Amino acid sequence: MTASHFKDPPKKSLGQHFLHERGIIDRIVKAVNPAPEDRLVEIGPGQGAITFPLLDVHGRLTVIEFDRDLIFPLTEAARAHGTLRVIHRNVLEVDFTALAGEEGPLRLVGNLPYNLSSPILFHALEHAAVIRDMTFMLQKEVVDRMAAGPGSKVYGRLSVMLQAWCRVTPLFNVPPGAFRPPPKVDSAVVRLVPRPAGEVGIDDPVRFADIVRDAFGQRRKTLRNALSRQCDAEAIDAAGIDPGTRAEQVPVDAFVRLANRLS
């Protein structure tokens, strides 16, 4: 019923791959499982594959869409499903804290553009205090990195930064054929739940981010060399970490411990 509203094909320049597989859509909606009082915000609704089913079960939804050509058809098609508020803006410019206001935390949902997934995740982290949870579809390789533990070949900066601030739970994989046009990679749906401030335990977020960035800047270097701009080997050892180890072997809580000692 809504397909006739959308005439334009996906735009390669914006990394658009529109989800169409109904079984996958239903699993995403079930994973979100919105309650009546929830404030749902969808990033990149595209042609409304997730938008309209969420509206059907929840009744109201805010979406953030950058593609001007999708605004009118989304708005028109949504009339049959519920109340849709459209924010026409680059999501990296959206202040989620201001959007939340005094009305309670946000629940973010979205099929994120693969070329912007990491910047969007880091942007959301800056507003973690007003976000209850995030259910995102991303490239499977990125989800694997997000959830990886120390010692894994894909454990890195993204793993540490996200796991320090959130509980990361991969939910299920999505094959290329579920999209139009099909991407060249597998996708996956993941849930991120921001940790309470007291559980995070990071004294200086900027210092923590600097240490993690430098530690993984050159993966073959030991921490003694990789963190030479941040501290000396004695400081690393004092935090209970072997200065001769590499970043990929260091658990998240050890990075937190080191950053707190240095700050």
**Residue 179 sits in a domain of what CATH number?**
3.40.50.150
Maximum Cα interatomic distance, the chain, rounded to a whole number of Å: 66
CA–CA distance, 154 with 151 (Å, rounded to integer): 8
Given a cut of 50, whether residue 61 has pLDDT beyond it is yes
DSSP 68-101: HHHHHHHHHHHTTT-EEEEEES-GGG--HHHHHT
Strands (E), the chain: 18-19, 39-43, 60-65, 83-88, 106-111, 131-139, 166-174, 179-180, 187-194
What's the structural domain count of the chain?
2
Asked which of 200, 226, 252 is the last residue of a domain, the reply is: 200
**What count of Cα atoms within 13 Å lies in the side-chain half-sphere of residue 57?**
16
- What are the tens digits of pLDDT across the range 177-221? 998 888 889 999 999 999 998 899 999 999 999 999 999 998 889
**What is the pLDDT, as a whole number, of residue 7?**
55
Given a cut of 90, whether residue 50 has pLDDT beyond it is yes
Residue linked to tokens 């942007």: 123
Task: Using pLDDT thresholds of 50, 70 and 90, give the confidence band for residue 16.
Answer: low
CA–CA distance, 168 with 256 (Å, rounded to integer): 17
Q: Is 129 found in the same domain as 244?
A: no
- What are the tens digits of pLDDT across the range 115-155? 889 999 999 999 999 999 999 999 999 999 999 999 999 99
Q: Is 112 found in the same domain as 177?
A: yes
Contact 143, 170 (CB under 8 A): yes
CA–CA distance, 181 with 9 (Å, rounded to integer): 9
Asked which of 146, 176, 200 is the last residue of a domain, the reply is: 200
Cα 231 to Cα 7, 60, 88, 205, 225: the distances in Å are 57, 50, 44, 17, 10
- 19 marked among binding-site residues: yes
DSSP secondary structure code for residue 250 in this structure: S
- What are the tens digits of pLDDT across the range 158-180? 999 999 999 999 999 999 999 88
Judged by average pLDDT, the poorest of 32-36, 85-89, 159-163, 179-183 is: 179-183
Q: Is 234 found in the same domain as 162?
A: no
Contact 159, 142 (CB under 8 A): no
Judged by average pLDDT, the poorest of 11-20, 23-32, 125-134 is: 11-20
Q: Is 209 found in the same domain as 128?
A: no
- 65 marked among binding-site residues: yes
CA–CA distance, 97 with 79 (Å, rounded to integer): 28
Burial class (CB in 10 A: 0-12, 13-18, 19+), 234: exposed
Q: Is 214 found in the same domain as 191?
A: no
Q: Is 120 found in the same domain as 87?
A: yes
Asked which of 200, 223, 243 is the last residue of a domain, the reply is: 200
Q: Is 164 found in the same domain as 85?
A: yes
Q: Is 161 found in the same domain as 236?
A: no
- 58 marked among binding-site residues: no
Given a cut of 70, whether residue 55 has pLDDT beyond it is yes
Q: Is 111 found in the same domain as 233?
A: no
Q: Residue 252 is part of a domain; what is its CATH number?
A: 1.10.8.100
Mean of pLDDT over the chain: 91
Q: Is 129 found in the same domain as 59?
A: yes
Cis check: omega of the bond before 53, within 30 degrees of 0? no
CA-CA-CA-CA torsion for 196, 199, 202, 206, nearest 10 degrees?
Answer: -30
3-state class of 17 per DSSP?
coil
Given a cut of 80, whether residue 11 has pLDDT beyond it is no
Mean pLDDT value across residues 104-116: 92
Q: Is 158 found in the same domain as 116?
A: yes
The residue range of the domain holding 158 is: 3-200
Q: Is 172 found in the same domain as 72?
A: yes
- What are the tens digits of pLDDT across the range 217-237? 988 899 999 999 999 999 999
